Amino acid sequence: MDQSNKKVLITGGAGFIGSHVVRLFVTKHPDYAIYNLDALTYAGNLENIKDLESFGNYNFIKADINEADSIKKLFLEHEFDAVIHLAAESHVDRSITNPNDFIETNVLGTANLLNAFREVHKDAYEGKLFYHVSTDEVYGSLGKTGLFTETTSYDPQSPYASSKAASDHIVRAYGNTYGLPFVISNCSNNYGANQFPEKLIPLFINNIKQSKPLPVYGDGNYTRDWLYVEDHAIAIDQIFHQGTVGETYNIGGFNEWTNLNLIKLLCQLMDEKLDRPKGNSEKLITYVKDRAGHDRRYAIDANKINKELGWKPSVTFEEGLEKTLDWYLANDEWLKNVTTGAYQDYYDKMYS
């Protein structure tokens, strides 16, 4: 869609993926006014977007999508033309301990945004768009073969996945019922700079640095399809501008790894970077109790976005991983700041 001189609201822009999406939009589209709305939960960090503060087209709004009245007020005040919705509770393990947080933010929070979008545009949507960012976890778990396509039936298995699935359904229902123009994308596992060290890759990087045990869930033979976060941001930009309203696009890395193989590669690269003897970090691998209801395998068929919009990952896994490790090693302060206080409590509860 053409959004020249329009106001684009991006939610969750202080988080991992959101920070990369905001940066791409602020720098690539100077004619848009970008509003980054974030509640700054444990996962939101203004350090992730500090470099954008001096840009004239960038605005930050601290707000909670669960507060329906404040959200409505903000929409009435700014009359956003488009929304790119990333704000969410995003960690599967936390959804197992606190499912209601996920239902509230991911389901009701999304509904609050949709209601505010309707209210401000009064169901007259020429040139407007609601872009909902979702996950491949809505499709459930794959066996040894097969890929998730856009028509795979939903079969979410964790409280996180089911809250995202519910939000996808609600977005589509508003499209069908009220004519609200939407697009949805469902992406595979992201990695890269700014990812909170509760997720596999940054958690293991941090532990390797500190020579702490590497907690592998179950037998470690779970498969994920990894995508470099900046490539996800590029895909979102392309779908936002060239995607067809009402459509869904799967985004993935064509890049499946079992956790164990990925962890071994990570250990090898970290040993090289930290000048440690070969095999040193692998000794830290510790098998721990499995995640409840752990999905065995995710893998995305990203041929639709590839064929229709010409998108494909721009970096190989080896290149992306190297950039990621270099970023975490160069940003020791960032890592220290997010792993003190509440993080230690979380870690002790989760892994003791």
Residues in touch with ligand NAD (CB under 6 A): 11-12, 14-18, 38-41, 43-44, 64-66, 86-90, 105, 109, 133, 135, 164, 187, 189-190, 196
User: Cβ of residue 318: shortest distance to ligand DAU, in angstroms?
Assistant: 19
The reply on whether position 266 binds ligand DAU by CB under 6 A is no
For residues 138-157, which are near ligand DAU according to CB under 6 A? none
Angle between helices 259-273 and 200-209 (to 10 degrees): 40
204 close to 263: Cβ distance less than 8 angstroms = yes
The reply on whether position 94 binds ligand DAU by CB under 6 A is no
Task: With H, G, I as helix, E, B as strand and everything else as coil, classify residue 133.
Answer: strand
Residue among 155 and 271 whose Cβ is closer to ligand NAD: 155
113 close to 65: Cβ distance less than 8 angstroms = yes
- In the chain, what is the straight-line distance between the N-terminal and C-terminal CA atoms, in Å? 49
The active-site residue out of 137, 168, 198, 225 is: 137
Q: Is 137 a catalytic residue?
A: yes
| Stretch of 105-113, 131-139, 275-283, 333-341 contacting ligand DAU, by CB under 6 A | 131-139
| Stretch of 20-28, 59-67, 111-119, 135-143 contacting ligand DAU, by CB under 6 A | 135-143
Residue among 71 and 284 whose Cβ is closer to ligand NAD: 71
The reply on whether position 267 binds ligand DAU by CB under 6 A is no
Quick one: which of 12, 13, 215, 243 contacts ligand DAU (CB under 6 A)? 215
The interface mask with ligand DAU, positions 25-64, x = CB under 6 A, is ----------------------------------------
The reply on whether position 91 binds ligand DAU by CB under 6 A is yes
User: Cβ of residue 225: shortest distance to ligand DAU, in angstroms?
Assistant: 7
| Stretch of 61-69, 139-147, 217-225, 268-276 contacting ligand DAU, by CB under 6 A | 217-225
Distance of CA 51 to CAs 20, 26, 47, 54, Å? 12, 11, 8, 7
The active-site residue out of 32, 125, 160, 298 is: 160
CA 134 to chain CA centroid, nearest Å? 8
User: Residue 307 class from Cβ within 10 Å (0-12 exposed, 13-18 middle, 19+ buried)?
Assistant: exposed
For residues 271-300, which are near ligand DAU according to CB under 6 A? 291, 298
DSSP lists the bridge partners of residue 38 as 62
DSSP 8-state class, residue 293? T
- CA neighbor of 315 nearest in space, from 197, 205, 233, 246: 233
114 close to 174: Cβ distance less than 8 angstroms = yes
Residue among 83 and 214 whose Cβ is closer to ligand DAU: 214
The reply on whether position 189 binds ligand DAU by CB under 6 A is yes
Contacts with 125 (C-beta within 8 Å, 6 or more apart), sequence order:
179, 180, 181
The active-site residue out of 136, 230, 231, 301 is: 136
User: Cβ of residue 250: shortest distance to ligand DAU, in angstroms?
Assistant: 11
- Give the separation between CA 113 and CA 102, rounded to whole angstroms: 16
110 close to 167: Cβ distance less than 8 angstroms = yes
Q: Within 13 Å of residue 63, how many CA atoms lie on the same side as its CB?
A: 22
Residues of the shown chain interacting with ligand DAU in the complex, contacts defined by CB under 6 A: 90-92, 135-137, 188-189, 199-200, 203, 215-217, 222, 224, 259, 291, 298
**Catalytically active residues, by annotation:** 136-137, 160
